[in-house]
Amino acid sequence: MIDTTSEPEAPQPMIGRGRELVQIDKLLAKQPPPTLIVVVAEASMVGKTRLLMEVEQRAKRWRTAFRDDDGELVVTADTTEETFHDRVRQLLGLPDDEDDIKAVPSFSKFGNVEQGRISDRLSHQPAIDDIGAGDPVRPAVYGQEEGLRTHHEQEVSEAEPVANRTPDEHRATHSRLGQLLKRASRGRGNAILLLIDGYYPEEEFGQWFTTRFLPDIKQEGARVLVIVALRHGDQEKLGPFADATISLGPLDRDEVRDHLLALSDKLDPPIEEKELKTYVEKACEEPEILDRLIHVLKELAQPVEKWSLAIEATG
């Protein structure tokens, strides 16, 4: 049997999530983008963090807040409006003062992103309406235009006109972070993507997130998308506010098997069918080992000369 404790140097392309990734790609390409996508893990250890890592890799045209040396972006019982604001601002590299947003350079200037070519490819992506009826992407319970926007409009209509409000009254209606992200997302190459790996808030934060923050980033002109990965049973916290919900079940066994079989064919001798079946079953039960398994198989498939040189170097 192959030792899968070896860690790959970089994440491998994700295998076994083809259908879910097609759905997410379509949502990322939609213009204007949705505001909230909820990914619900149907069981433990199905790889929701790994899925967000793949989305981060694919979202080249987005300015993304997901993780750094301090870990992933997550909402816990200790999260407050202020700590969430500071964490998102830190991950995005945004100035604290909203007046300084205009000084933030376009994301298209960061890295070697060929913005025009990406836009051309996206223009040929199928629309979200093309998602089949059998796919596990469904509209929000309250619809895309009702839940958030109706609540927000009611909240605004009951308040004083904007021109008559004091700064404190304006802040009470809008979230500081929502307004910050709305302004930062303007301009070519500045669309913002928040990837939240777990959502376990106290009631006060949950109220702020759903009744102030989400309505702010749903306003016309804001190009901010939030993808939240939830445990099974937690979807009622955000499901009614989501533009789309994606169920995350076991990995696609056929997709995993086909990929491992293709790698096995490069080995001498190839992996036997019984052993291959064991690897597929184990990877589908524990998706986190799949990247390590693929890494090991690729290493074993390297020419003998490479292994000889490696042995000489360590000898």
pLDDT per residue over 265-280, tens digit each? 888 888 899 999 999 9
Query: Quick one: 232 and 268 in the same domain?
Result: no
Q: What band does 283 get if pLDDT is binned at 50, 70 and 90? A: confident
Query: Quick one: 278 and 230 in the same domain?
Result: no
pLDDT at 141: 38
Show the tokens assigned to 21.
């990734």
Q: What band does 95 get if pLDDT is binned at 50, 70 and 90? A: confident
Mean pLDDT, residues 8-22 taken together: 78
Per the model's pLDDT, the better-predicted residue between 289 and 314 turns out to be 289
Do strands 71-72 and 67-68 pair parallel, antiparallel, or not at all (unpaired)?
antiparallel
Question: Which amino acid belongs to residue 183?
Answer: R
Q: What band does 300 get if pLDDT is binned at 50, 70 and 90? A: confident
Q: Does residue 113 lie within any of the structural domains?
A: yes
Q: Is the pLDDT of residue 123 over 60?
A: no
pLDDT at 229: 95
pLDDT at 12: 66
Question: Which amino acid belongs to residue 298?
Answer: K
Q: What band does 304 get if pLDDT is binned at 50, 70 and 90? A: low
Q: Does residue 5 lie within any of the structural domains?
A: no
Helix 290-300 crosses helix 273-285 at what angle (to 10 degrees)?
150
Mean pLDDT, residues 76-98 taken together: 91
Average model confidence (pLDDT) across the chain: 76
Mean pLDDT, residues 249-260 taken together: 92
Query: Quick one: 176 and 279 in the same domain?
Result: no
pLDDT at 314: 52
- Give whichever of 39-48, 97-106, 207-216, 305-314 has the largest mean pLDDT: 207-216
Q: Is the pLDDT of residue 139 over 50?
A: no
Query: Quick one: 285 and 209 in the same domain?
Result: no
- Which range has the worst mean pLDDT, 75-89, 237-251, 282-296? 282-296
Mean pLDDT, residues 150-161 taken together: 41
**Final residue in a domain of this structure, among 248, 263, 283:** 248
Per the model's pLDDT, the better-predicted residue between 105 and 92 turns out to be 92
Instruction: Count the domains in the chain.
Output: 2
The pLDDT tens digits of the residues spanning 169-186 come to: 444 557 899 999 999 998
Per the model's pLDDT, the better-predicted residue between 75 and 314 turns out to be 75
Q: Does residue 23 lie within any of the structural domains?
A: yes
Q: Does residue 6 lie within any of the structural domains?
A: no
**Residue among 202, 197, 192, 201 nearest 228 (CA):** 197
Query: Quick one: 280 and 243 in the same domain?
Result: no
Q: Does residue 38 lie within any of the structural domains?
A: yes
pLDDT at 221: 82
Q: Does residue 285 lie within any of the structural domains?
A: yes
Mean pLDDT, residues 218-234 taken together: 90
How far is Cα 277 from Cα 261, in angstroms, rounded to an integer? 10
**Final residue in a domain of this structure, among 227, 248, 269:** 248
Query: Quick one: 85 and 213 in the same domain?
Result: yes
Domain of 261?
A: 253-314
Per the model's pLDDT, the better-predicted residue between 138 and 224 turns out to be 224
Alpha carbon distances (Å) from 313 to 66, 163, 195, 304, 305: 38, 73, 42, 14, 12
Query: Quick one: 208 and 282 in the same domain?
Result: no
Q: Which residues contact 9 (CB under 8 A, 6 or more apart)?
A: 295
Show the tokens assigned to 206.
């949950």
Query: Quick one: 221 and 86 in the same domain?
Result: yes
Contact (CB, 8 A) for 230 and 41: yes
Q: What band does 105 get if pLDDT is binned at 50, 70 and 90? A: very low
Mean pLDDT, residues 26-40 taken together: 92
